[in-house]
Structure formats: C-alpha cells, structure tokens
Homo-oligomer: A and B are copies of this chain.
Amino acid sequence: MAHKRDAKDVADDEPYLQIGEVAERTGVTQRTLRFYEEKGLLKPPTRMEGGFRLYSEADIRRLERIRHLQQLLGFPLAQIKEMVEADEVKMQLRAEYRPEAEASEKKAQILKAIEVTERQLELIGEKATAIVDMQAKLEERLSTFHGWLTDLEASSKSTAKAKV
C-alpha cells in the first residue's frame, strides 16, 4: 500500500490533502482538478516544496460546489465560474465584516453582496421558473391519466353489471 504522507509544512493544524486523496474523496479525477485550476475555477492550491498540490477543506468545498452547480444547471464552466466567484465574494465579505467598521465601508460591502446575489439570481432565474412549470405540467398530465384510469375501471364495472 501507499505510504501515508506527512504532508504538511504549512499549518500543521489544518488537514491538507494531496490531489490523489481529493480525487478519491470527491470522485473527481486528478486531471479534472488540474483542469479546473487551469481554467480558474479552483485557485491554485498551496504546494509542498516538491511541488505537490495541497488542498484545503475550503478548496474541497469549492470543488463540490462546482460539481453541484455543473450537475444542476448544466451551464458551461465559464458560467459556473461566475457563480462560484460570486459565492466567494460573499464569503469574503462575510469574513471581513466587522461591526466596528465604518458605516460607509460596510454599506459598500453590503451593496456589493446584493449586486452579486442579484447576478446569481439572474443566472438561474429563468431556468428555475421554466423547469418548475414543466414539472407542474407533467404532474398535471399524470394525474389526468390516473383520472382516466379510474374512470375506465368504473365504467368497466358498470358494463359488467349491465351484462348480468
């Protein structure tokens, strides 16, 4: 078996993962991880001296977010990127938010957050409504069919009676 690494010379407290472990844990291939990095979807992770990538939990959360969005929305990676970046901006604001900051600064941050969130809503909005009412239509048809079915059973029963 593989030797288990002692791969941390960064911060000993945080659990850093090498690319292979991330791949295994998330079901994403190593190639895809490098590819996402290349495309700017994942920020370049920290490395050990040898150059091996070391992913943080935050990196992994981001990765999972990407995959989720990709599955969910079927958008091209460029748009997925926009989405995750927007998330990141909001996280950032949240982290930097100090109640004792200047009001004008806080206001600016909140405005930014609002802008970003609105953009996200814009990206998914149309899709959401369309998919929902497609679903509604299907469900309606389904219950129509069930209705027909029960009608049918009822009438077959009555004809049976009529025959006797």
Contact = CB atoms under 8 A, between A and B. Distances in A.
A10 interface: no
A23 interface: no
Q: How many copies does the complex hold?
A: 2
B135 A117 contact: no
A110 B141 contact: no
A48 interface: no
Nearest to A111: B149
A155 B104 CA distance: 12
B114 A124 contact: no
A146 interface: yes
Nearest to A97: B148
Given A127-B72, A128-B135, A121 B142 contact: yes
Contacts of A114: 142, 145-146, 149
A124 B128 CA distance: 12
Contacts of A155: 103
Interface in A119-164: 120-121, 124-125, 127-128, 130-132, 134-135, 138-139, 141-142, 145-146, 148-149, 152, 155-156, 159
B131 A72 contact: yes
Contacts of A134: 72, 124, 128
Interface in A82-123: 90, 103, 106-107, 110-111, 113-114, 117-118, 120-121
A157 to B, nearest CB: 10
A117 B117 CA distance: 35
A145 B113 contact: yes
A127 B118 CA distance: 21
